[in-house]
Structures are given as C-alpha cells and as structure tokens.
Amino acid sequence: MKYRHLVSFVSEEESDLIEGISWNEGFSNLFFEKTVDSGIALHVLLEEGEELPYFLSKMEFSDLGFTEQKDWFEKWKETLVPFELCKSVEVLPLEEEEKVVDPNKIGIIPGMAFGTGLHESTKLAASLLVEAVVRGSRVLDVGCGTGILSAIAAKKGASQVVALDIDEHSVEKTNETARINDVYIDARQSEFLSSVKPEERFDIIVSNMIVELLREFVLDLESFLDEHGTVILSGIYKDKFSEIGNLIEGTFLIESSREDGDWKAIKLRRK
C-alpha cells in the first residue's frame, strides 16, 4: 500500500502535545525524528484519500509525495529500543508476538505513535500504578489503549484486571499485549464505564486520558471504587489541571500529584 508522506517541524512542547493527543485518539501513523539543524520533524503517513486528523488539520506540512509502507516502516523501526518506563518497569518494543514473562519487563508491539520513550502521561500513570498495586489488587483501566497499564498491573500482582476502551482495535491490542506478557486481562469494548457491572468494585482505577474525556465519567468512578480504593488520573495537560481539580473537589481528595514536562497525574481517594 502507498502512503502520502507529510512532514512538519515542531517544538518539543508541540511534539509532547501532539503525541499525547494522538495516543488518546488512536491515530498511530505518525512518528517524530530529532534532526541536527531543524529540531523535531513530525512525519505523518496517510492512506490514499485519508484526511489529516482534526488535531493536525491547522498545521502546515510539506508534502513529500507517496511512499511505500516498507520505506518509512524500516525508518520507524530504528527508533524501537528498550527503555525504562518507570521504576521496575522496562518496555521491550517487539516486531512480532513473543512471550515476555519477566515481571519487570513489558513486551508490546507498538504502533507508530508509540515513540521511542512513550508519552509522559503514560510514564506518570505507570509510576503511580506500580506504587499502588499489591498482590490481590482489583484494577480497572479506563481507556486502555495498547493495554500497557493493564499488563503492568497484572504483572505486579493484581488478581483481577478489567480494561475498557470504546475502540474495538484497542481491545484487540490489549488482548495481544496480554498474550505477549503471559497475563490475563478482561478487555471489554465500552463507552467509558458502560460495560462495568453494577456490583463490580475495584481497589485501583487508573485512566490515562485527556481532560476533555476524563470529565465525562470521572465522578462516576466513585460507584465502582472500593471504600479504601485509589483513583489514578493522568493525561492532564498543565493548563487543564484546575478544571479537573474543580470538578472532583466534592467527591475526591487529591493525595498526591506528579508532573513530567507539561503533563500531570494525580492520585485520589474518597472524601
């Protein structure tokens, strides 16, 4: 298949924002390349007739014409190297399925938007999740994407992991990640919390989604949270932090917060 190859140069701040939105929106045909002279090059690959996603539509791109998939895929693969996601978690990008059983390593077949270091919001969520999970924890992952957070929870001792995503491809990807890491994840296609059973309760609820999506369901999390449970929210852009804080102040207490660049994550408990 041939792809239309577009390129634009962006700042580090812009690349962080684009990577975060693309990750949450499930648009995977892009990658970043650090250049010596011009900063960060954003490469976007579109199928014939495909339009730019809304969050890139106002940017100026140079059109490099059409290219075969193998040409840019080989270039992208060069960026796939193991890296530390957070303390005691190393990510191993794979080209095909193979078992990764080490509890401190997460194998994953990444999409193009995966990047060489994964997005800051995922790192923040993972670091808080690793600290919160104990053997026997029941964990709910809302907006699971590739299933990386669910796999971390399962490998760190959770007895039950339920992963939700509205996108059927994300559910399939989460099942793939579970197979690679030799864990069981109950992956469900769900519009926010719609597939959670009324009687289900969780010790930890984690969600790495932008504020525009978090605000749609965050107050409903209390119904599924154990009395002494923990909520971890990431994907919060710094300019939106007060918005989410004001929204939850009547329901949850912020126990702690962390930041990485322009992104924040918070750990909550019931009031």
Q: Which two tokens stand for residue 180?
A: 């690679």
160 and 186 in contact (C-beta within 8 Å)? yes
Strands 39-47 and 30-35: antiparallel
What is the longest distance spanned by two Cα atoms in the chain?
57
What average pLDDT score do residues 26-47 get? Answer: 80
What average pLDDT score do residues 31-39 get? Answer: 75
Residue 72: its pLDDT value, please?
64
Whole-angstrom Cα distance, residue 17 to residue 45?
18
135 and 203 in contact (C-beta within 8 Å)? no
What average pLDDT score do residues 29-42 get? Answer: 79
> Count of CB atoms within 10 A of residue 167's CB?
14
Residue 112: its pLDDT value, please?
53
pTM over 0.75: yes
For residue 115, pLDDT beyond 70:
no
Q: Helices marked H in the chain — which ranges?
A: 12-25, 69-77, 120-132, 148-155, 168-180, 211-214, 241-248
What average pLDDT score do residues 2-23 get? Answer: 83
For residue 114, pLDDT beyond 60:
no
Q: Please, which pLDDT band fits residue 32 given cuts at 50, 70 and 90?
A: confident
What average pLDDT score do residues 168-177 get? Answer: 90
Residue 113: its pLDDT value, please?
47
* pLDDT one-digit tens code per residue, 231-267: 999 989 888 999 999 999 999 999 999 999 888 999 9
- Which residues partner with 266 through β-bridges? 233, 257
What average pLDDT score do residues 145-151 get? Answer: 92
Q: Please, which pLDDT band fits residue 77 given cuts at 50, 70 and 90?
A: low
Q: What is the mean pLDDT of the chain?
A: 89
Q: Please, which pLDDT band fits residue 69 given cuts at 50, 70 and 90?
A: low
Q: Please, which pLDDT band fits residue 132 given cuts at 50, 70 and 90?
A: very high
Residue 259: its pLDDT value, please?
94
Q: Which two tokens stand for residue 260?
A: 């990485």
Answer with the residue of higher pLDDT: 22 or 230: 230
Residue 76: its pLDDT value, please?
64
* pLDDT one-digit tens code per residue, 192-238: 999 999 999 999 999 998 898 999 999 999 999 999 999 999 989 88
